[in-house]
């Protein structure tokens, strides 16, 4: 029987799969995709054993602990250990479920590479180009004409790095599960960096395309800014407490063993990690660009799992932030991100970018929930969001697969052509907007409740505005893609429903987008074998268990706000020219939003005008002072001294013999003078 303390097996399986795939993916049948799916399927199954054990005789078996010595040097000691509590279990379920769905989906989606220009295609597969060249020299011209005509003309080629993709997916699953289970900050940081590097690999998976390589670099560097701060925070906490063990650190912080100022500073540094990883303003710029990666990656890493690692970390360490009085900071930061991202999502034309900003906005609201002190609401929303956002991304991928474009401009009316994709997408979108009784409704309700009761009415009103905005961009997203009339007949006529490997995960995730919210209810939780509704056990120590009560006022306010948002967009889109006239009427705000508040331009300016200038000064200092005077100066000094001293070496043997004698005499003199 697998108990909670055996949970380390869950990440170990994908690790093994990664090693085999990375080495052997070219010799395995089907390039080993079945192995990746099998590995994550096994982990997925094992999670349920852990869940079963955890909730048998609840809460006797929690938290599950297991550790072995990792590093020991004097008084410095780090253990390699796991810590399985309720929060971790929820994360395990989310990560393995979404990872399994994405792995299955990828066996369909990743077979071919989409959206290539003729040039890229030729570069990627010279053999294919040559084969097509049989039609004559006109091939290149034809491709050129086609690509100047429509977006979709860029054709698909077989994916050359198919096996490697699954290897990295396995590595990511290993890293993410380790991050979830880690019981000490150092191991967690290692896993944290490992998911970061997987993200880097996968964003830059189409590295032949320059924008993908740039986006990968941007993501890596931007998150690294946060990670450096996080590492400083971890080291500061270690210096104060002498341990990396999370529970011990939390205990020390709660009991006031760390000075308050010191605690605040170290907590702020620690918070930088989540700001970077969970893409909070101002380090959010990498996430929209990360959409350059394959769509399944966007679903898994940049919606459901990795980006919520920051939320998870803050949830885990919430007592520390509470002790440092930083909840208000987290709340404000989250709310800024949430509202900002929702507004930007309104004006994006790229299908995936809209969803990416929607993700940002949801990450922001999770931070708001944490800032309101409610781990329950944040983790619950994390779970439901993972399901419906993965569903949205995979649906978007299905659309890209069918139409070879991810611009919303030429799409429209696809529901008829792609019934399964359309239906699941719309369900997930409604869940995202928070329409009763879909999953998103319950978690948003919980968040609104926590804001209402802990943060105050001003924040509550802002949160309602956020719900309206969510409704607006969701309606726009669905309206442009699946509803209305086709704006490009050519694309429309070629569109088709995706293969079963892709629709199956969509159906499952669509179903989860409907039902994932119900376990909040006491009766549903009980009937599932849980100790009660989610809000009754999913907490950090110190938080009070609270049975969920359906609050009609709150639910009405939330739903009405969402509907209001959807109605506004619907009204604007109902008549063909109305949206264009509306945007033309407010060019200033519209351009501001469309250009994402000029964050990228601002950073570019900052880098060009400030950082590069400072860097130039530092480089000058380094070259002339540190290098020429310091390093080279010392070496020149030594060089010169050596040049002078070398003449003491005559090479004549008698001189050396004399030196020996002088040495002996000196020793004798010393011996006499000290003895007598």
Partner 1 sequence: MIPMEHVLILGAALFAIGMYGVLARRNAVLILLSVELMLNAVNLNLIAFNVYLRPNPATGMVFSVFVIVIAAAEAGLALAIILRLFRNRRTANVDEADLLKW
Partner 2 sequence: MQIHSTEQVVFYLLAVVAVAAALGVVFAQDIIHSALFLVVTLILTAGVYVLLSAEFLSLVQVLVYGGGVSILVMFAVMITRVRDARGPLDGAQKPIAIVAGLAIVTVLVLMISRTEWQQAIPAVNRPDESPVRVQRVITQTDKGQLMSDTDAIGHDLFTTFAVPFEVASLVLLVALVGAIYLARGEEDEVT
Residues at the site binding partner 1, with contacts judged by CB under 8 A: 646-647, 649-654, 657-658, 661
Of the residues 210, 485, 646, 672, which one makes contact with partner 2 according to CB under 8 A: 672
Of the residues 45, 626, 668, 670, which one makes contact with partner 2 according to CB under 8 A: 668
The nearest distance, CB 656 to partner 1, in angstroms, is 9
Nearer to partner 1, 257 or 639 (CB): 639
Question: 219, 203 in Cβ contact below 8 A?
Answer: yes
Q: Where are the alpha helices (DSSP H) in 516-648?
A: 522-527, 534-537, 552-574, 578-585, 587-594, 599-605, 612-620, 632-645
The nearest distance, CB 661 to partner 1, in angstroms, is 7
Nearer to partner 2, 73 or 648 (CB): 648
Question: 449, 551 in Cβ contact below 8 A?
Answer: yes
Nearer to partner 2, 643 or 672 (CB): 672
Q: Is 325 helix (H, G, I), strand (E, B) or coil?
A: coil
Nearer to partner 2, 221 or 665 (CB): 665
Token digits for 465?
Answer: 């505005």
Residue 662 interacts with, from partner 1, partner 2, none (CB under 5-8 Å by kind): partner 2
Residue 1 interacts with, from partner 2, partner 1, none (CB under 5-8 Å by kind): none
Question: 151, 399 in Cβ contact below 8 A?
Answer: no
Nearer to partner 1, 552 or 653 (CB): 653
Residue 665 interacts with, from partner 2, partner 1, none (CB under 5-8 Å by kind): partner 2
Question: 36, 17 in Cβ contact below 8 A?
Answer: yes
Q: Under the criterion CB under 8 A, does residue 661 sit at the interface with partner 2?
A: yes
Nearer to partner 2, 210 or 652 (CB): 652
* Chain position carrying tokens 């139409």: 403
Q: Is 354 helix (H, G, I), strand (E, B) or coil?
A: helix
The nearest distance, CB 283 to partner 1, in angstroms, is 59
Q: Under the criterion CB under 8 A, does residue 662 sit at the interface with partner 2?
A: yes
| Gap between the Cα atoms of 654 and 83, Å rounded | 74
Give the up-direction half-sphere exposure of residue 185: CA atoms within 13 A in the CB hemisphere.
28
Torsion angles phi and psi, residue 409, rounded to 5: -50, -55
The nearest distance, CB 663 to partner 1, in angstroms, is 13
Of the residues 655, 656, 663, 670, which one makes contact with partner 2 according to CB under 8 A: 655
Cα end-to-end distance, the chain, whole Å: 82
Q: Is 497 helix (H, G, I), strand (E, B) or coil?
A: coil
Nearer to partner 2, 637 or 668 (CB): 668
Interacting span for partner 2 (CB under 8 A) from 129-137, 227-235, 308-316, 655-663: 655-663
Q: Is 72 helix (H, G, I), strand (E, B) or coil?
A: strand
Residue 282: is the preceding peptide bond cis (ω within 30°)? Answer: yes
Element at 251 (helix H, strand E): helix 246-254
Q: Under the criterion CB under 8 A, does residue 585 sit at the interface with partner 2?
A: no
The nearest distance, CB 644 to partner 2, in angstroms, is 22
Beta strand residue intervals within 434-491, DSSP E: none
The nearest distance, CB 25 to partner 1, in angstroms, is 60
Interacting span for partner 2 (CB under 8 A) from 279-287, 538-546, 575-583, 657-665: 657-665
Interacting span for partner 2 (CB under 8 A) from 56-64, 70-78, 344-352, 663-671: 663-671
Residue 20: is the preceding peptide bond cis (ω within 30°)? Answer: no
Parallel, antiparallel or unpaired: strands 157-158 and 112-113: antiparallel
Residue 651 interacts with, from partner 1, partner 2, none (CB under 5-8 Å by kind): partner 1
Q: For the chain, give the longest Cα–Cα distance.
A: 115
Give the up-direction half-sphere exposure of residue 317: CA atoms within 13 A in the CB hemisphere.
37
Nearer to partner 1, 577 or 651 (CB): 651
Nearer to partner 2, 456 or 663 (CB): 663
Other CB atoms within 10 A of residue 533 CB: 25
Q: Is 126 left (phi over 0), alpha (psi -120 to 50) or beta?
A: alpha
* Chain position carrying tokens 């993972």: 386
Token digits for 415?
Answer: 């529901």
* Chain position carrying tokens 């404000």: 332
The nearest distance, CB 659 to partner 1, in angstroms, is 10
Q: Is 208 helix (H, G, I), strand (E, B) or coil?
A: coil
The nearest distance, CB 646 to partner 2, in angstroms, is 20
Question: 398, 300 in Cβ contact below 8 A?
Answer: no
Residue 584 interacts with, from partner 1, partner 2, none (CB under 5-8 Å by kind): none
Interacting span for partner 2 (CB under 8 A) from 60-68, 267-275, 290-298, 656-664: 656-664
Token digits for 287?
Answer: 């996430």
Binding-residue pattern over the window 625 to 654 for partner 2, x denoting contact by CB under 8 A = -----------------------------x
Of the residues 610, 638, 665, 670, which one makes contact with partner 2 according to CB under 8 A: 665
Parallel, antiparallel or unpaired: strands 76-84 and 112-113: unpaired
Nearer to partner 2, 261 or 649 (CB): 649
Residue 650 interacts with, from partner 2, partner 1, none (CB under 5-8 Å by kind): partner 1
The nearest distance, CB 674 to partner 2, in angstroms, is 13
Helices (H) and strands (E) in the chain, counts: 33, 4
The nearest distance, CB 639 to partner 1, in angstroms, is 13
Residue 618 interacts with, from partner 1, partner 2, none (CB under 5-8 Å by kind): none
Nearer to partner 2, 73 or 661 (CB): 661
What sign results for the dihedral spanned by CA atoms 354, 359, 364, 368?
positive
Nearer to partner 1, 553 or 654 (CB): 654
| Gap between the Cα atoms of 300 and 279, Å rounded | 15
Residues numbered 370-409 forming contacts with partner 2, rule: CB under 8 A: none
Residue 255 interacts with, from partner 1, partner 2, none (CB under 5-8 Å by kind): none
The nearest distance, CB 651 to partner 2, in angstroms, is 14
The nearest distance, CB 662 to partner 1, in angstroms, is 10
Nearer to partner 1, 575 or 649 (CB): 649
Bridge partners (DSSP) of residue 72 are 77
Residues 6+ apart with CB under 8 A from 51: 89, 92, 93
The nearest distance, CB 667 to partner 1, in angstroms, is 15
Nearer to partner 2, 255 or 674 (CB): 674
* Binding footprint of partner 2 on the chain (CB under 8 A): 654-655, 658, 661-662, 664-665, 668, 672
């Amino acid at each position: 029987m697998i108990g909670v303390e055996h949970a380390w097996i869950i990440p170990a399986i994908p690790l093994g799969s990664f090693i085999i795939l990375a080495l052997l993916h070219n010799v395995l049948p089907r390039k080993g995709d079945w192995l990746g799916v099998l590995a994550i399927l096994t982990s997925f199954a094992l999670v349920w054993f852990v869940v079963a054990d955890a909730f048998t005789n609840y809460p006797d078996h929690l938290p599950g602990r297991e550790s072995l010595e990792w590093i020991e040097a004097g008084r410095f000691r780090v253990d390699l250990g796991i810590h399985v509590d309720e929060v971790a279990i929820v994360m395990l379920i989310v990560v393995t479920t979404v990872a399994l769905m994405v792995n299955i989906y990828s066996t369909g989606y990743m077979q071919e590479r989409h959206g290539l220009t003729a040039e890229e295609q030729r570069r990627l597969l010279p053999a294919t180009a040559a084969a097509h060249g049989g039609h004559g020299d006109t091939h290149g011209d034809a491709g050129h004409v086609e690509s100047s005509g429509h977006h979709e003309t860029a054709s698909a080629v077989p994916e050359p790095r198919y096996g490697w993709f699954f290897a990295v997916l396995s590595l990511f699953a290993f890293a993410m599960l380790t991050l979830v289970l880690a019981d000490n900050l150092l191991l967690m940081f290692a896993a944290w960096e490992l998911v970061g590097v997987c993200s880097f690999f996968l964003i830059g998976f189409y590295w032949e395309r320059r924008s993908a390589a740039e986006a990968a670099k941007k993501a890596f560097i931007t998150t690294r800014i946060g990670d450096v701060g996080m590492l400083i925070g971890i080291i500061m906490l270690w210096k104060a407490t002498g341990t990396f063990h999370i529970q011990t650190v939390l205990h020390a912080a709660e009991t006031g063993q760390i000075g308050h100022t010191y605690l605040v500073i170290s907590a702020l540094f620690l918070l930088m990690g989540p700001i970077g990883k969970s893409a909070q303003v101002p380090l959010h710029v990498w996430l929209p660009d990360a959409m350059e990666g394959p769509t399944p990656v966007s679903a898994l890493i940049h919606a459901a799992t990795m980006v919520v690692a920051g939320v998870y970390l803050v949830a885990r360490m919430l007592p520390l932030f509470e002790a440092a009085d930083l909840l208000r900071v987290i709340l404000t930061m989250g709310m800024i991100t949430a509202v900002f991202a929702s507004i930007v999502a309104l004006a994006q034309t790229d299908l995936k970018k809209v969803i990416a900003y929607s993700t940002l906005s949801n990450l922001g609201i999770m931070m708001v929930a944490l800032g309101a002190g409610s781990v329950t609401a944040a983790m619950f929303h994390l779970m439901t969001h993972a399901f419906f956002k993965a569903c949205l991304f995979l649906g978007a991928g299905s659309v890209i697969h069918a139409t070879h474009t991810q611009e919303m401009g030429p799409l429209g009316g696809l529901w008829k052509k792609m019934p399964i994709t359309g239906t699941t997408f719309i369900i997930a979108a409604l869940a995202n907007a928070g329409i009763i009784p879909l999953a998103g409704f319950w978690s948003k309700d919980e968040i609104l409740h926590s804001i209402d009761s802990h943060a105050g009415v001003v924040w509550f009103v802002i949160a309602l505005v956020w719900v309206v905005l969510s409704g607006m961009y969701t309606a726009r997203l669905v309206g442009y893609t699946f509803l209305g009339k086709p704006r490009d007949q050519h694309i429309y006529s070629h569109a088709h429903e995706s293969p079963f490997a892709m629709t199956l995960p969509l159906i499952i995730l669509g179903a989860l987008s409907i039902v994932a919210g119900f376990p909040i209810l006491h009766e549903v939780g009980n009937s599932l074998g849980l100790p009660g509704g989610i809000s009754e056990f999913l907490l950090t120590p110190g938080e009070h268990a609270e049975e969920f009560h359906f609050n009609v006022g709150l639910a009405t306010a939330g739903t009405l706000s969402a509907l209001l948002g959807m109605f506004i967009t619907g009204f604007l889109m109902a008549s063909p020219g109305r949206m264009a006239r509306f945007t033309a009427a407010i060019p200033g705000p519209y351009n501001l939003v469309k250009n994402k508040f000029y964050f990228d331009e601002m950073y570019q300016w900052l880098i060009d005008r400030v950082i590069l200038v400072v860097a130039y000064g530092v480089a000058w200092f380094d070259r002339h002072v540190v290098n020429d005077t310091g390093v080279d100066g010392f070496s020149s000094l030594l060089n010169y001294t050596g040049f002078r001293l070398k003449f003491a070496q005559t090479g004549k043997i008698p001189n050396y013999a004399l030196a020996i004698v002088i040495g002996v005499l000196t020793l004798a003199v010393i011996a006499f003078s000290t003895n007598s």
